């Protein structure tokens, strides 16, 4: 880790804005040297079993959820629950078939 190296000559100038700019540049340079630019974490592993049927069913599930959320009638609730169960079955089947 490299610390900011602020010297007296950087601060003792005739113009205060120049002194402030020198200190800011020094701090930014130290931060750029010590803060990593890319993440060391691995990328999120994508699900290899996710296919078009899963995508389409998830889209339908979200659509019916939004309808039920806005208009909470019994018919909308039943339609949402039925679609949610179907989506769960499709996802489980897709996971099972991919192994």
| Residue 61 pLDDT exceeds 90 | yes
Tokens of 35: 């803060």
What average pLDDT does the segment 79-93 reach? 97
Range of weakest confidence among 3-17, 54-68, 76-90: 3-17
User: Quick check: 83 and 57 in contact, CB under 8 A?
Assistant: yes
Give dist(CA 89, CA 99) in Å, integer. Answer: 16
pLDDT, position 70? 97
- In tens, the pLDDT along 2-54 reads 577 777 777 777 788 988 888 888 888 888 888 888 877 777 777 889 999 99
């Amino acid at each position: 880790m490299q610390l900011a190296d602020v010297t007296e000559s950087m601060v003792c100038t005739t113009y205060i804005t120049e002194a402030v700019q020198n200190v800011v540049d020094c701090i930014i340079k130290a931060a750029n040297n010590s803060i990593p630019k890319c993440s060391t974490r691995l990328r999120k592993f994508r699900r290899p079993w996710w296919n078009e049927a899963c995508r389409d069913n998830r889209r339908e599930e979200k659509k019916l959820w939004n309808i039920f959320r806005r208009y909470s009638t019994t018919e909308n609730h039943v339609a949402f629950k039925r679609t949610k169960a179907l989506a769960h079955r499709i996802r489980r089947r897709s996971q099972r078939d991919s192994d």
